[in-house]
């Protein structure tokens, strides 16, 4: 697929940059209120509801201004550039990124006691240039009624914050360079569909075709009606409630062996049903099928006594093996592209790769490759300075970036809304492979402080970057400007997030009760785990490694069957995600969508399917717009109104 012959449009203009910079702090403050103070988590599910909400109103304002004067209106390319930047900023200021990091920086010094022995175990090894250990400074942070802008407070936080901002910037720059190398293979050669960005593309379409579609408004109205009724129920409990949010059905599984399944929830989120309509039919089926196969596995394990094993059925290890298997097949499918790239790197005369040269990329391939090398060198030195053993560093980041690539692929090809991968992370897999006994204190401390970008991957920035490059291709936006906008958003978003989190904590106090449980919960979780690693050293887990091998083998078998038989209905990604947090909350939505989509394709074919897409995207948009409105109302009234997620 060649790029349009038309000269690329400017997306990063003075107008779009000013709008984005103005919205950054508003967006970050909104996320803090929703995720830290309350319990609505927009950054855990995609597309990001807060960003869609903002873009929706930008489209309305931009279109209104165009009517007055075309010169002062906003083009779709400018609005989408703002969308890209807000997605990056939201990923950074999220429940799975900097929200965690800030809470880790002072926690061990505030809550060390004689009982937990943190002072003796690891106080001295914590890098002073990355933490805050002044008791007076931490007193204001945790108790509130203070100010960040006192000299002592600013001085204590600025150095470690700047180091972490630099680390985050380099980490995301490496991701961007990898995405640039992968883009042409996945976007133009394999032509992956990128379902997650479709709602943003439809909303910003210059012809407003989406908003002129009646079916879209029917879907919008349906989701809006549900949201309004549930809002009224939250204010007047005697009014009816439509049960679309997750709820446990464990009360129906109390006897053996059914109770071995653990928690089972059902939900019927309108936005999940709407966006998931774009997910391929085989993956929809595979998701709920493998979810229940996993639950069946738990029951069978209970019946035959396998549940006596400490972590049977080692679902995280199986998942890790499955993701590695998927990556192997992904790289195998693109082997000719990667061979051409190697030739391109080694040719002194800038040889063209098979799909075309790199003039259409944000930066040349050689520069992207150099960026990866320099970035990895920085990450290596940074990790070594913290205390990670030199032999562990390449293994740690190899696992991290391989998982990052897999998540980006998952989003680009299949568009699954939630990708958490709890306990499928570098430190968990390394500990499974070698145990904690062979890891020194510095390595375990580095694992702990790196938990802020490895606890879960629901707001992972790498797929956001890849989707931005796809938007650039679809809308013919200058790719260099898109790359610059990503880097600007990364740098400024990190600064704004640190600033507003610290400002809010000093105003209200992290332990004052104003914030939700995770203001202290992240630090407690991370440092209790670190103390456990040090107090109760363990050897490698051969059984866990074996189950990772089983996951790799089963995934390979499923991929071979898919390649040999076109009718084969099971996608290995459903197997990989079977025990995930996202699947436990969304399996019932996917079952409903699978049934609807199956019936539509069976009786109406592709024509009816395409006609139905606006209805389902309208459902998602309606849920997002009204859900966003209620969340703003909660902030303005200092109450908790109906929260549409989770």
Least confident range of 19-28, 66-75, 598-607: 66-75
pLDDT of residue 636: 94
CA gap 201, 16 in Å, rounded:
17
Say yes or no to pLDDT of 356 above 50.
no
126 torsion bin: left (phi>0), alpha (psi -120 to 50), beta (else): beta
CA gap 59, 207 in Å, rounded:
12
- The CB density around residue 158, as the number of other CB atoms within 10 Å, is 11
pLDDT of residue 161: 98
pLDDT of residue 52: 98
Give the rounded distance of the alpha carbon of 352 from its chain centre. Answer: 34
Beta pairing partners, 265: 248
Say yes or no to pLDDT of 142 above 90.
yes
Q: What is the pLDDT of residues 187-246, one digit of tens each?
A: 999 999 999 999 999 999 988 999 999 999 999 999 999 999 999 999 999 999 999 999
pLDDT of residue 85: 98
Q: What is the pLDDT of residues 266-303, one digit of tens each?
A: 999 999 999 999 999 999 999 999 999 999 999 998 89
CA gap 106, 381 in Å, rounded:
23
CA gap 192, 411 in Å, rounded:
10
Query: Which of 644, 629, 598, 59 shows the shortest CA–CA distance to 276?
Result: 598
pLDDT of residue 141: 97
**428 Cβ partners below 8 Å, 6+ apart?**
316
- At what angle are helices 14-32 and 76-92 packed, to 10 degrees? 30
State whether residue 621 is helix, strand or coil.
helix
pLDDT of residue 640: 86
CA gap 26, 10 in Å, rounded:
25
Do the beta carbons of residue 516 and residue 36 sit within 8 Å?
Answer: yes
CA gap 493, 495 in Å, rounded:
5
Do the beta carbons of residue 168 and residue 92 sit within 8 Å?
Answer: yes
pLDDT of residue 67: 83
> Which CA distances in Å does 72 have to 24, 52, 83?
21, 22, 19
Provide the sign of the torsion angle of the four alpha carbons 453, 31, 489, 460, taken in this order. Answer: positive
Percent of the chain whose pLDDT exceeds 90: 82
Q: What is the DSSP string of 559-583?
A: HHHHHH-TT----HHHHHTTTSHHH
CA gap 225, 227 in Å, rounded:
5
Say yes or no to pLDDT of 350 above 60.
no
Q: What is the DSSP string of 261-306?
A: G---EE---HHHHHHHTTS-HHHHHHHHHHHHHHHHHHHHHHHHTG
Mean pLDDT of the chain: 93
Q: Which residue has the higher pLDDT, 7 or 325?
A: 325
pLDDT of residue 5: 52
* 133-156: average pLDDT: 96
Helices (H) and strands (E) in the chain, counts: 24, 2
pLDDT of residue 1: 42
CA count, 13 A, side-chain hemisphere, 7: 1
Percent of the chain whose pLDDT exceeds 70: 97
Q: pLDDT band at residue 339, thresholds of 50, 70 and 90? A: confident
pTM for the model stands at 0.95
* 435-459: average pLDDT: 96
Query: Which of 414, 478, 482 shows the shortest CA–CA distance to 198?
Result: 414
Give the rounded distance of the alpha carbon of 338 from its chain centre. Answer: 27
Do the beta carbons of residue 112 and residue 512 sit within 8 Å?
Answer: no
**545 Cβ partners below 8 Å, 6+ apart?**
317, 432, 433
Q: Which residue has the higher pLDDT, 5 or 472?
A: 472
pLDDT of residue 357: 61
Say yes or no to pLDDT of 344 above 80.
no
CA gap 328, 405 in Å, rounded:
11
509 torsion bin: left (phi>0), alpha (psi -120 to 50), beta (else): left
CA gap 134, 542 in Å, rounded:
43
């Amino acid at each position: 697929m060649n790029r349009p012959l038309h000269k690329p449009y400017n997306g990063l203009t003075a107008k779009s940059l000013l709008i984005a910079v103005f919205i950054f702090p508003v967006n970050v403050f909104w996320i803090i209120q929703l995720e830290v103070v309350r319990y609505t988590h927009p950054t855990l599910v995609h597309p990001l509801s807060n960003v869609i909400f903002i873009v929706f109103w930008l489209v309305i304002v931009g279109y209104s201004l165009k009517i007055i004067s075309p010169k002062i209106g906003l083009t779709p390319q400018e609005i989408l550039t703002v969308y890209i930047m807000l997605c990056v900023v939201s990923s950074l200021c999220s429940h799975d990124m900097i929200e965690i990091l800030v809470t880790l920086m002072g926690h061990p010094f505030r809550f060390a006691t004689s009982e937990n022995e943190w002072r003796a175990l690891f106080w001295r090894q914590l890098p002073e240039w990355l933490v805050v250990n002044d008791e007076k400074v931490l007193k204001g942070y945790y108790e509130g009624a203070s100010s960040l802008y006192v000299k002592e407070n600013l001085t204590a936080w600025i150095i470690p914050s700047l180091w972490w901002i630099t680390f985050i910037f380099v980490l995301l720059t490496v991701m961007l360079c990898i995405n640039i190398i992968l883009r042409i293979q996945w976007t133009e050669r394999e032509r992956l569909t990128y379902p997650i960005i479709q709602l943003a593309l439809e909303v910003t379409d210059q012809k407003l075709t989406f908003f002129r579609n009646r079916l879209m408004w029917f879907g919008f109205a349906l989701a809006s009606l549900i949201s309004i009724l549930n809002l009224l129920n939250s204010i007047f409990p005697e009014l009816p409630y439509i049960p679309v949010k997750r709820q446990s059905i464990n009360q129906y599984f109390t006897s053996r062996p059914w109770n071995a399944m653990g928690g089972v929830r059902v939900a019927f989120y309108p936005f999940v049903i709407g966006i998931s309509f774009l997910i391929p039919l085989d993956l929809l089926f595979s998701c709920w099928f493998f979810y229940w196969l996993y639950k069946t596995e738990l029951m069978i394990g209970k019946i035959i006594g396998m549940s006596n094993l400490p972590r049977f059925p080692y679902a995280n290890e199986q998942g890790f093996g499955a993701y590695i298997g998927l990556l192997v097949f992904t790289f195998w499918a693109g082997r000719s592209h990667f061979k051409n790239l190697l030739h391109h790197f080694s040719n002194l005369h800038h040889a063209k790769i098979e799909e075309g040269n790199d003039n259409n990329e944000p930066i040349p391939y050689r520069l992207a490759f150099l960026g990866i090398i320099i970035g990895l060198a920085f990450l290596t030195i940074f990790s070594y300075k913290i205390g990670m053993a030199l032999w562990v560093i390449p293994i740690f980041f190899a696992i991290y970036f391989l998982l990052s690539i897999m998540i980006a692929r998952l989003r680009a090809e299949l568009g699954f809304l939630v990708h958490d991968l709890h306990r499928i992370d570098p430190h968990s897999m390394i500990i499974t492979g070698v145990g904690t006994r062979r890891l020194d204190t510095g390595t375990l401390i580095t694992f702990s402080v790196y938990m802020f970008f490895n606890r879960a991957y629901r707001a992972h920035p790498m797929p956001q970057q890849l989707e931005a490059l796809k938007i650039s291709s679809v809308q013919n936006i200058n790719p260099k400007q898109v790359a610059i906008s990503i880097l600007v958003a990364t740098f400024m978003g990190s600064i704004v997030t640190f600033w507003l989190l610290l400002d809010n904590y000093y105003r209200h106090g992290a332990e004052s009760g104003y914030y939700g449980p995770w203001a202290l919960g992240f630090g407690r979780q991370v440092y209790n785990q670190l103390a456990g690693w040090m107090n109760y050293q363990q050897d490698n887990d051969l059984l866990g490694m074996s189950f990772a091998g089983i996951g790799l083998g089963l995934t390979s078998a499923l991929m071979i069957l898919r390649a040999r038989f076109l009718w084969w209905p099971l996608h290995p990604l459903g197997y990989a995600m079977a025990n995930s947090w996202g699947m436990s909350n969304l399996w019932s939505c996917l079952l409903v969508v699978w049934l609807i989509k199956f019936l539509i394709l069976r009786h109406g074919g592709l024509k009816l399917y395409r006609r139905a897409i606006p209805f389902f995207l309208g459902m998602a948009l309606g849920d997002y717009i009204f859900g966003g409105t209620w969340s703003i109302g909660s902030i303005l009234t200092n109450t908790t109104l109906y929260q549409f997620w989770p």
